[in-house]
Amino acid sequence: MRKKARRLPKFKNEDDEREFWAGHSPLDYFDVEKVKRGSFPNLKPSVKPISIRLPEGMLAELKTLANKKDVPYQSLAKIYLARQIALERESLRAAPKKRRRSSEAR
């Protein structure tokens, strides 16, 4: 038999709430059978500016391609990076486990 969810206390501020959750489990205060998956369609991922050195020719080519696609070159660079990361991640998943273990031992 499931135990009944406890009633949440009122918090004076975020520090009180943070201190409370540091010592309590959310599972005691929420009915997990009534939980619904949240959807945040307008949430934008956090971004961190970086500096990267590129050969001048590569940067010029990136800018030319971006101009033809009518997008900022930084956005095009992010698209290309995301695409390559996805390809690399997929190839690692598809690699035989035996081969993956030997590369992890290094």
Please tell me the predicted confidence (pLDDT) of residue 46.
87
pLDDT tens by residue, the chain, 106 residues: 566 778 889 999 999 999 999 999 988 888 878 888 888 888 888 889 999 999 999 999 999 999 999 999 999 999 999 999 999 999 988 877 655 555 555 5
For the chain, what are the domain ranges?
A: 56-104
Tell me, what's the pLDDT at 98?
55
User: Which residues, in sequence order, are CB contacts of 66 under 8 Å at separation 6+?
Assistant: 72, 73, 75, 76
- Alpha-carbon distances of 61 from 67, 68, 83, 85, rounded to whole Å: 10, 11, 18, 21
Q: What is the C-alpha separation between 67 and 70, in angstroms, rounded?
A: 5
